[in-house]
Amino acid sequence: MCIGVPMQVLSLEPGHAQVWGRGEQRRINTALVGALQPGDWVLVFLEAAREHISPERAAEVNAVLDLVAHSMVGATLSPEALDDPGFSLPSAMSAEQLRALAGVPKEVRHD
């Protein structure tokens, strides 16, 4: 299984970027995501940026990765962390929010 890691662009060079995220700096390939600027966030798989994401989406993915990391070492979470993990579960989202999450355009009505 491949897990995407949110990383923030530090600097750019043709076809590559220096990025930082989750405590490490990497040089990644940027051919699949188009133009980037320092400060942008990307989702990185196997040393390549696969998606240009918002800071909010980066925070959501990082929150999920934190939960996974805690569960892998058998850590228990505080009641506050369970009440607000830092992101919305799809089961708690509206149809419009689910479409946005999946990248589906807004529903167009033809009356």
In the structure encoding, which two tokens stand for residue 74, read together? 């058998």
Collect all residues with Cβ–Cβ distance below 8 Å to 35 and sequence separation of at least 6: none
Express the helix, strand and coil content of the chain in percent, nearest 5 each: 30, 30, 40
- Burial label for 13, CB within 10 Å (0-12, 13-18, 19+), is exposed
Segment 77-88, tens digit of pLDDT: 566 665 665 666
Q: Are 7 and 44 in contact (CB under 8 A)?
A: yes
Segment 87-96, tens digit of pLDDT: 666 667 777 8
Compute the average pLDDT of residues 29-35. 94
Distance between CA atoms of residues 70 and 63, nearest Å: 11
pLDDT of amino acid 87: 62
In the structure encoding, which two tokens stand for residue 102, read together? 């999946």
H helices of 11-91, in order, are: 55-72, 79-83
Label residue 38 by pLDDT band (50, 70, 90): very high
pLDDT of amino acid 29: 96
